Chain A
Amino acid sequence: MAKIKASYKVPILTGEIKIPKVVPGASAYEKMYPGIKEDMLAIGFPASLEDGWETKAVGIFKQLLTHNKALKTYMDICVRCGACTDKCQFFLGTADSNNMPVGRAELMRRVYRYYFTPAGSLFKGLADAEPFSEKMIKKWFTYYYQCSECRRCSYFCPYGIDTAVITMAAREIMDGIGIGQKYATEIIHKVFKIGNNLGIPPAALRNTLDDLEEEINEATGKDIKIPMDVEGAEVLLVPPSADFFAMPHMESLIGYAKVFYKAGISWTVSSYASEAGNFGMFIGSYKNTKEINKRIWDEARRLKVKRVVVGECGHAWRALYNFSNTMNGPFDFLDGKYKQPTHICDFTLGLIKDGVIKMDPSANDDKIVTFHDSCNVARASRMGDTKDGQLTIPRELIKACANHFFELRDGANKAQTYCCGAGGGILTDEVMNVRIAGSMPKMQVIKEVMDNKGVNFLALICAICKTQFTNMYPLYGFDKEMVGGVHQLVSSAIIL
């Protein structure tokens, strides 16, 4: 949990997003903790910078350029038109020019031009090219960890240049030479060792679930179970592990349990694949992403389920929806009737539409709800059958569960949504000022609907968004109870 410190720079909320005057290096002081030796080694990276690292870095860079079309084209074709310069929440919050998407990408392009273009190797400085140096790697480590890989810049770029691709490649190059980030590498290590990001062992997980079952029983008088490791269940539910432990995440888990109970569909969570999140993606490591992803499909096979449903988690949905089939598919051992995987919102809304479960939206009449589109859902994955299902399905579900719903301002919403400020593996306390700065644009538009519409509940479908806003709300002077999952609304509205 974040402690409120006097040193935090919390912007004043006016409901407006102003484009700041550029201050180069304004957020250079915010750095990640470096990766710990045992975590780095465990996930296949050197522990620290070794002699000859420059050559190694160039080698990895070259390999990425020849195996990743996006990286290769995005190194070449930027015209520095400036369309992206005022689009990144981290630039808007910090005013640091290296946090403008193009500024961030230029940190890599300078090195690219030096080693991989004739102009760069001939004219060096005149071609704005420079070799790998410790100074440059320090800049990379700072600014490629002030990016949440949210892809808002790509939406506005005339060529679709995706900074997430560039950030991931930069992190992959840095990891390859022993410059890792503690937060992500530690979490990936935990997933392999224990099964989830939070490092909850199976026995502890069962205990938590027992407590939760008791809690639900007290509140509803119903015998609602959260089964674990049940072979032959119809559905394997893979939530982000925060849903087991953190607040308000657990409210959503209760919501999922009620939906399965009322629909009469047998389900199970897994102690082996107890994590939907995939931090391998955050650090751009195909190998780690694939290995983490594989756990879920191995478990689906072992438990002989018919389908895999994914809980409320943004980047997990991207990794599962977009990459699963490529990395670990095809899923012909699962029931072909269903999409594999299915998003929990799609699943629940489907049951409501089919009349299997019923909602009483008046149960949420104390709440005036707004919805924050999570970047990895809105801009990186689809939900359901229609082109923009990821935008319509959560909204339809909220409207089925609550009578008072208001949209955030256009331009900060749907495909143009600002990131919560902590995605992409930067949800860690050592960069709290970056997180605060990055949350500013979204907080401004939330403040706007709070003032104009009396909104008192922010509905989310991402574990990182939930933690980030739960941390941010008190800093900006709001009650953190005003943040919660969409299935928290489902949980209160469902007629049992």
Chain B
Amino acid sequence: MIDLNFLSGVYVLLTYFAAAIFIIGVLIKIIVYAKTPMPVKIALTPAPQTKAGSVGRVASEILLFKSLFRANKPTWVAGYIFHVSFIILILLHFARHFIYHYHNGVVSLPSWYPLFVNAGIVFGILMFLSLFYLLFRRMIVDRVKIISIFSDYLILIILMMIAIAGLSMNFLISASALTKIDNRLDPFINGIATFHPINIPSNPYFLVHYSLILILVAYIPFSKVMHFVGVFFSPTRYMTDNPEEKRYYKPNAKDLSL
């Protein structure tokens, strides 16, 4: 701790702060969603009659966005590309960390590492383009424009800025500067994870990218991004259609709304 420079001190605090908000916020939402009772069966039919069927139904929504596909094809294409590239990019970032960790950084990076980096660039571009389409659509289609609120634009813009900042490190700074960031990032993350923080890479491009991600992470529990939790708790989708076969009884539902 004593060795930290001022900038790193600030970032270390912000990192812990954002992570805490994210973890506590998401956990609270999960607990609230899971614990809130549902007074009656409201499965949207035709619905599966078994638990396994319901799991399949929810999975098809989460993995394939089935309902959105039925509703609006262009939105499905852009939405699906965004979500898939976003997930892949998160996984690639984790993978990057472990590759560095186990190969001792630039000294002995595997030969396929450039391919790995290029995959990240491709998905970064895809993520940006799909977000751009979603933003464009929000501003152009009158039905979507009229329902869009400030936070809808905010989240799109934060994500687009993250993508731009991330890509900029691959295009706007020199290879040696990037290598420097790469070599210092891995120990920094390890330091955070083991509660022995060290100095953060000080390249401004990296800091912009990192700052935006902290903002996103801390914002998630308060935002509509919580749909990634809520989608598991939507009664119209996860409920089984078997009220005649098995009594669905909620004694605490008395006298309240359906």
Which residues of B (62-96) have their CB < 8 Å from a CB of A? 65, 67-68, 70-72, 75, 79
A405 to B45, CA, bound (A): 24
By the criterion CB–CB under 8 Å, are B71 and A83 in contact? Answer: yes
Asked if B39 is at the interface (CB within 8 A of a chain A CB), the reply is: yes
* Set of chain A residues within 8 Å of B16, measured between Cβ atoms: none
Nearest-CB residue, chain B, relative to A281: B258
By the criterion CB–CB under 8 Å, are A77 and B231 in contact? Answer: yes
State the Cβ distance, B112 to closest chain A Cβ, in Å: 36
Asked if B222 is at the interface (CB within 8 A of a chain A CB), the reply is: yes
By the criterion CB–CB under 8 Å, are B44 and A82 in contact? Answer: no
Nearest-CB residue, chain A, relative to B238: A160
* Set of chain B residues within 8 Å of A326, measured between Cβ atoms: 39-41, 243, 247-250, 253
Asked if B148 is at the interface (CB within 8 A of a chain A CB), the reply is: yes
Tell which of A47-55, A285-293, A454-462 binds the partner.
A285-293
Query: Size band of the A side of the interface?
Result: 35 or more
Name the residue in A22, A70, A128, A172 with the highest tally of chain B Cβ atoms < 10 Å from its Cβ.
A70
A290 to B39, CA, bound (A): 12
By the criterion CB–CB under 8 Å, are A159 and B258 in contact? Answer: no
Asked if B99 is at the interface (CB within 8 A of a chain A CB), the reply is: no
A71 to B256, CA, bound (A): 12
Tell which of A97-105, A202-210, A212-220 binds the partner.
A97-105
Choose from A80, A325, A381 the contact partner of B148 (Cβ within 8 Å): A80
* Set of chain B residues within 8 Å of A329, measured between Cβ atoms: 247, 249
Nearest-CB residue, chain B, relative to A117: B222
By the criterion CB–CB under 8 Å, are A83 and B49 in contact? Answer: no
State the Cβ distance, B142 to closest chain A Cβ, in Å: 5
A296 to B229, CA, bound (A): 40
Asked if B244 is at the interface (CB within 8 A of a chain A CB), the reply is: yes
A391 to B231, CA, bound (A): 27
* Set of chain A residues within 8 Å of B234, measured between Cβ atoms: 70, 73-74, 77, 159-161
A107 to B182, CA, bound (A): 48
Asked if B236 is at the interface (CB within 8 A of a chain A CB), the reply is: yes
Asked if B233 is at the interface (CB within 8 A of a chain A CB), the reply is: yes
Asked if B32 is at the interface (CB within 8 A of a chain A CB), the reply is: yes
A119 to B144, CA, bound (A): 22
By the criterion CB–CB under 8 Å, are A169 and B257 in contact? Answer: yes
Choose from B227, B237, B248, B253 the contact partner of A79 (Cβ within 8 Å): B227
* Set of chain B residues within 8 Å of A391, measured between Cβ atoms: 46
Choose from B40, B45, B48, B257 the contact partner of A379 (Cβ within 8 Å): B45
By the criterion CB–CB under 8 Å, are B44 and A390 in contact? Answer: no
State the Cβ distance, A296 to closest chain B Cβ, in Å: 15
* Set of chain A residues within 8 Å of B32, measured between Cβ atoms: 72
A119 to B226, CA, bound (A): 14
By the criterion CB–CB under 8 Å, are A68 and B67 in contact? Answer: no
Asked if B235 is at the interface (CB within 8 A of a chain A CB), the reply is: yes
Name the residue in B45, B241, B254, B258 with the highest tally of chain A Cβ atoms < 10 Å from its Cβ.
B258
Asked if A7 is at the interface (CB within 8 A of a chain B CB), the reply is: no
- Given A70-B38, A158-B61: A85 touches B147 (CB 8 Å cut-off): yes
* Set of chain A residues within 8 Å of B45, measured between Cβ atoms: 378-382, 388, 390, 415
* Set of chain A residues within 8 Å of B65, measured between Cβ atoms: 158
- Given A67-B39, A158-B61: A286 touches B255 (CB 8 Å cut-off): yes
A97 to B138, CA, bound (A): 15
Choose from B49, B79, B224, B258 the contact partner of A76 (Cβ within 8 Å): B224
List 18 contacting pairs A-B, 8 Å CB cutoff, sorted by A. A68-B38, A69-B235, A71-B257, A73-B36, A73-B234, A73-B235, A76-B224, A77-B231, A82-B147, A151-B236, A155-B44, A157-B71, A160-B67, A165-B42, A172-B257, A324-B243, A326-B40, A415-B46
* 11 other A-B residue contacts (CB within 8 Å) besides A119-B151, A387-B49: A68-B36, A70-B38, A73-B33, A82-B144, A97-B146, A155-B44, A156-B67, A172-B257, A287-B255, A324-B243, A339-B244
Top 6 nearest A-B pairs (CB, nearest first) are A77-B230, A83-B71, A156-B71, A160-B236, A82-B144, A85-B143
A-to-B contact residues, CB < 8 Å: 19, 21-22, 24, 63-74, 76-87, 97, 100, 102-103, 106, 117-119, 126-128, 151, 154-162, 164-165, 168-169, 172, 281, 284-287, 289, 321-327, 329-330, 339-340, 378-382, 387-388, 390-391, 415
B-to-A contact residues, CB < 8 Å: 29, 32-33, 36-42, 44-49, 61, 65, 67-68, 70-72, 75, 79, 137-138, 141-144, 146-152, 222, 224, 226-227, 229-231, 233-237, 241, 243-244, 247-250, 252-258
